[in-house]
A and B are shown apart, each in its own frame.
Chain A
């Protein structure tokens, strides 16, 4: 039986309302775009919010330099087709400027380093609102996140002192130097996002669908061996498997799952039956039980 999707309309209406509030309440908003399904969904919602006018703010991608090539290719095509403005800032530049130090070893990842590049870019462009695709169901620290989440001059999240949010009312009052992170799809689950992508027939990067890929196994997770980005020991053997990715973060911290799902409807079916949560394939959360909360306090998205 096909599940009734009219509740997705309710989530969509809520998200459009939030995006319009951002455009109205802030002077320099930006949509943080990773090339992942959540930020692609945000772009569609923003199109809907302002139609027939264009989206009145730019997109910004913080590029770790370790993205899946498919994602970058997709990003550039989307921006061109929709005539959007795209800003790209590179983690590599932050490394070259000596602002952050590249991690080394088996679990090296540029995921943490993104924060510095992001905060620098916010300051450079004086962005006062950054729209992001984070969802409360992803992780338990994110479950406490507000829709308008205030960050101080240092980009930090004060989780114990958040503004209450009542009814539909969004308080975007901030001081100069502060900014607000806005999460229009806070109340969506992973399945909701996929159902929406299916319903709207939204195009997404190919790595979300099952494909043959050279991979290796570590700690029970499947890692891409197609590029040199993920550190691999000599004894970690390369094999070929049918896999897909459930998130498209930095390659060095995004593991694949075995899958035969090659179409959106198959993916939706697979997620409905799945017993491992989406972030279960993100090694950055496994560092400790409070990994996400710590990163958020420091200004991570």
Chain B
């Protein structure tokens, strides 16, 4: 069993926080003191129901305005799985928050208000989920209580959404539709008595049944060296270990490897995890590797299997999500952080801006503003070792750092 990370997406007032609160409440994950605090505040505000959004909206400004500003992480577990929900707010900095939440998630929930149906924001949410290649998407059609639990409304929204699906780029995504009422608790954790026409799973049942093999993206092994371990003690006098996390696939003792960028060949001699040696390092494990030969390896280098090299280039083209109020313009210089590797980058060209409502592209672009998504090419001061994002989620993505503010101002997915 692994931890299942889920991102949520919805527009303001679609009831995202309420849905999460409902999941916590119905799985009995809210402790007595937290529940008491919610009851007290709900009463103070004169509500005749429990406002579960109070469980997740943690900042003062959020509670005052009744909105979610920043990505919050919520934890709960059932007897089958441990869950982490990234609650991503849907307004001003929506792209930034959604991309952030979705980048670490294996599944996502897109909320639709049954009264409003598929709106422009829904397109955007689905687009980003598809762009980030989230394997499993649940479309939760919420507030069914406000449309008399109508099957027709549900079918109409489902049909509209299926229309969007036909235009998507990543076709292997699995998409399910569930009619819910987060406020009343229909089909969230417990099956609804109000919608006998719906024969499918509840939201939680669906998540519980997701198979690990289906939700994790795999590729070929990539081992970026994070840190060189040299104990210089009597016992480990000549020890030179390369610490890092294995991405994509497994690495084993005896594997013929190549160190990038030097292209030096060697073999994996040992794999350590703490004080134990292993034959194989599995995907996503943080291990320390030693090599048969005395080669020069430092932080930022990458160890890969022979005959399985990534692209080694000083330029690339990517889909970029811009997250800063200061515009990205052609010719501007940034730091590109690709995994743990940092290089200087210059914006070579903005090819076109993508309309996340699937209505097309805009070719004459002078700059990118907050929330824009565009195809951009970069030139780098030294090569990086990348894969295409569609083949390798980790080795095909990067962040853009403004060297003046030090802020993370964008994210990219290499094409």
B79 within 8 A of A: yes
Measured between beta carbons, the chain A residues less than 8 angstroms from B332 are none
Q: How far is the CA of A20 from the CA of B288 in the complex (A)?
A: 11
Q: Are A17 and B286 in contact (CB under 8 A)?
A: yes
B61 within 8 A of A: yes
- The digit string for A123-163, where 1 denotes a CB below 8 A from any CB of B, is 00000000000001101111110000010000000011011
Which single member of B61, B74, B103, B285 contacts A13 (CB below 8 Å)?
Answer: B285
Measured between beta carbons, the chain B residues less than 8 angstroms from A165 are 100, 408
Q: A141-B59, A169-B339, A173-B401 are in contact. Are A50 and B31 (CB under 8 A)?
A: no
Q: Smallest CB-CB separation from A12: which chain B residue? A: B286
Q: A136-B73, A173-B335 are in contact. Are A167 and B274 (CB under 8 A)?
A: no
A259 within 8 A of B: no
- The digit string for A164-195, where 1 denotes a CB below 8 A from any CB of B, is 11111101011100000000001101011000
Measured between beta carbons, the chain A residues less than 8 angstroms from B398 are 169
Q: Which of B309-359 contact A (CB under 8 A)?
A: 323, 335, 337, 339-340
Q: Which of B35-93 contact A (CB under 8 A)?
A: 37, 41, 55-61, 63, 69-75, 77, 79, 81-82, 84
Measured between beta carbons, the chain A residues less than 8 angstroms from B1 are 4, 6-7
Q: Smallest CB-CB separation from B68: which chain A residue? A: A144
The interface stretch among B156-164, B186-194, B203-211, B231-239 is: B231-239
Q: Are B79 and A164 in contact (CB under 8 A)?
A: no
Q: Are A166 and B288 in contact (CB under 8 A)?
A: no
Q: How far is the CA of A11 from the CA of B75 in the complex (A)?
A: 13
Measured between beta carbons, the chain A residues less than 8 angstroms from B382 are none
Q: Distance (Å) between the CB of B282 and the closest chain A CB? A: 9
B390 within 8 A of A: no
Measured between beta carbons, the chain A residues less than 8 angstroms from B74 are 143
Measured between beta carbons, the chain A residues less than 8 angstroms from B272 are 51-52
Which single member of A3, A140, A150 contacts B58 (CB below 8 Å)?
Answer: A140
B104 within 8 A of A: yes
Q: How far is the CA of A159 from the CA of B71 in the complex (A)?
A: 11
Q: Distance (Å) between the CB of A167 and the closest chain B CB? A: 5
Q: Smallest CB-CB separation from A4: which chain B residue? A: B1
- The digit string for B391-415, where 1 denotes a CB below 8 A from any CB of A, is 0011001110101001110010000
B146 within 8 A of A: no
Q: How far is the CA of A6 from the CA of B82 in the complex (A)?
A: 11
Q: Are B394 and A24 in contact (CB under 8 A)?
A: no
Q: Are A189 and B286 in contact (CB under 8 A)?
A: no
A277 within 8 A of B: yes
Measured between beta carbons, the chain A residues less than 8 angstroms from B33 are 276-277, 280
Q: Are A52 and B100 in contact (CB under 8 A)?
A: no
The interface stretch among B119-127, B134-142, B173-181, B222-230 is: B222-230
Q: Are A276 and B31 in contact (CB under 8 A)?
A: yes
Q: Distance (Å) between the CB of A42 and the closest chain B CB? A: 15
B245 within 8 A of A: yes
- The digit string for B372-385, where 1 denotes a CB below 8 A from any CB of A, is 00000000000000
B6 within 8 A of A: no
Q: A53-B229, A137-B75, A276-B32 are in contact. Are A175 and B399 (CB under 8 A)?
A: no
Q: Smallest CB-CB separation from A142: which chain B residue? A: B58
Q: Are B58 and A166 in contact (CB under 8 A)?
A: no
Q: Are A168 and B339 in contact (CB under 8 A)?
A: yes
Q: How far is the CA of A50 from the CA of B84 in the complex (A)?
A: 28
Q: Are B337 and A169 in contact (CB under 8 A)?
A: yes
Q: Are A17 and B226 in contact (CB under 8 A)?
A: yes
Q: Distance (Å) between the CB of A178 and the closest chain B CB? A: 8
Most buried by A among B33, B71, B232, B235: B33
A218 within 8 A of B: no
Q: A11-B3, A175-B406, A189-B75 are in contact. Are A164 and B96 (CB under 8 A)?
A: yes
Measured between beta carbons, the chain B residues less than 8 angstroms from A290 are 60
Q: Distance (Å) between the CB of B13 and the closest chain A CB? A: 20
Q: Are B70 and A144 in contact (CB under 8 A)?
A: yes
B275 within 8 A of A: yes
Q: Which of A1-56 contact B (CB under 8 A)?
A: 1, 3-4, 6-7, 9-14, 16-17, 20-21, 23-24, 47-54
Q: How far is the CA of A23 from the CA of B60 in the complex (A)?
A: 34
**Residues of B bordering A, CB below 8 Å:** 1-3, 31-34, 37, 41, 55-61, 63, 69-75, 77, 79, 81-82, 84, 96-97, 99-100, 103-104, 226-227, 229-233, 235-236, 239, 241, 243-245, 272-275, 284-286, 288, 299, 323, 335, 337, 339-340, 393-394, 397-399, 401, 403, 406-408, 411
Q: Pull 7 A–B residue pairs with CB atoms less than 8 Å apart, ordered by A.
A: A14-B286, A17-B286, A20-B243, A48-B273, A52-B241, A168-B339, A169-B337
